[in-house]
Copies of this chain bind each other. A is one copy, B any other.
């Protein structure tokens, strides 16, 4: 039976020990989660039992914050490499999508196309690639560079990188492999395409040593909210992870992105906007607020101030009164969109530095609801029906309890309201998202005659 109307898409943003930065200290939290595959498997299975579209992994090729007195109090300095982790999760799940972040700045398109293409084969069509350009100088220092590339250069390189990756995935036509034991012909050499890409960023001959992925291309995800990021998203992305604090902000972003997508001649409905969303949910609002208060008490001031500095491009808050107002923040070359969201939040709610970091440490600029299941579901429905979102990247405060509360209390409510599936109807991530399987793109390949 077809769904009667447009439905929500849900991702589980699977971050370390939970999205509350002090969440690992909660009595029932799995503090050993970062290196423990068994726990990731348990969480992914729970997301699949709740019919989530996908699990989503962030990534860094560095320890992003190096303010050690604060960082030693957090769990995010060590994470499993996402392609390896998702390849293992592909074995213990059957339907849920598997999306990993991959940087275009400190990697090579041949490696990235291989890894995500392999994940798509291993999972039989459930891979997604969250394309990021990386905004952390600590990452540059691990790859022989003194400083990270400038914002505009990163995005130009990213656009070329994605083109190359697509060209590599198209190396063999879908029907190239005959596997004909009688004639001894394994593949039709006339269906092999040599990319031979050359531009200022990359020189890549191909072919990729991989059959075309089951989904054609893994689902392309993008998260940059800057002007350059939105342009890249409008041209290439199929899912957009956004950061918005309020519905008006979300509506403005949503309308802008859909217009840019249409401006590229693409179907705006085939691009899904999924803001991050931090829910603290309990049977009653009072209980949810109690849980939140417990978590906030576990937050050490060093951690809050360090995170705030990190998210504002390294701004040094130490000369300022922590209980005074937020000073004017200079423009930065990193995380431009998030910086604006954070500054707007402080101004709008007239928050002190301390109040701001207490808010940021929780959801890092994403929207948040602390309340009953009805209140959480109402918020999601309002954004979904009000032109702010096609779905949400759900950021549980803790694992397992914070996520279990969402799947036990909120998901059934969304399902009863007809907003979310009660069973998967397809088998690939493209199926879940209602995205078409892309045919091989026509480009200047050297086609070989057989």
Contacts and interface: CB of A to CB of B under 8 A. Distances in A.
Interface of A: 22, 24-27, 29, 31-32, 34-35, 37, 41, 60-63, 68-69, 71-75, 77-81, 83-85, 87-88, 90-92, 106-108, 110-111, 114-115, 117-119, 121-122, 138, 141-145, 172, 177, 179, 181, 184-189, 192, 202-207, 209-211, 298, 300, 448, 450
A68 B121 CA distance: 24
A188 B77 CA distance: 12
User: How many copies of this kind of chain does the complex include?
Assistant: 2
A110 B143 contact: yes
Contacts of A205: 138, 141-142
Nearest to A196: B141
Contact of A31 (B119, B179, B206): B179
A80 B22 CA distance: 39
Nearest to A124: B37
A110 B25 contact: no
A81 B211 contact: no
Contact of A87 (B85, B114, B142, B450): B85
A440 to B, nearest CB: 16
A118 B84 contact: yes
Nearest to A114: B81
Contacts of A91: 37, 41, 88, 91-92
A63 B298 CA distance: 53
Contacts of A179: 24, 31-32
Contact of A119 (B74, B84, B144): B84
A138 to B, nearest CB: 7
B144 A204 contact: yes
B25 A184 contact: yes
B121 A79 contact: no
25 contacts: A22-B184, A27-B181, A29-B181, A31-B179, A35-B121, A37-B91, A63-B209, A68-B448, A72-B185, A72-B187, A79-B209, A80-B122, A81-B83, A81-B117, A83-B83, A84-B87, A84-B115, A84-B118, A84-B119, A84-B122, A85-B118, A141-B203, A141-B204, A144-B202, A144-B204
A63 B32 contact: no
A25 to B, nearest CB: 5
Contacts of A107: 108, 111
Contacts of A145: 203
Contact of A211 (B63, B72, B78, B84): B78
B77 A209 contact: yes
Given A77-B209, A110-B143, A141-B205, 10 more contacts: A35-B211, A37-B121, A72-B187, A78-B211, A83-B87, A88-B91, A91-B92, A141-B203, A143-B204, A144-B204
A73 B75 CA distance: 50
A39 to B, nearest CB: 12
A431 B121 CA distance: 32
Nearest to A140: B205
Contacts of A298: 184
B186 A72 contact: yes
A269 B27 CA distance: 49
Pairs A-B, 9 closest by C-beta atoms: A141-B205, A81-B118, A84-B87, A87-B87, A91-B91, A68-B189, A144-B203, A72-B189, A31-B179
Contacts of A122: 37, 80, 84-85, 88
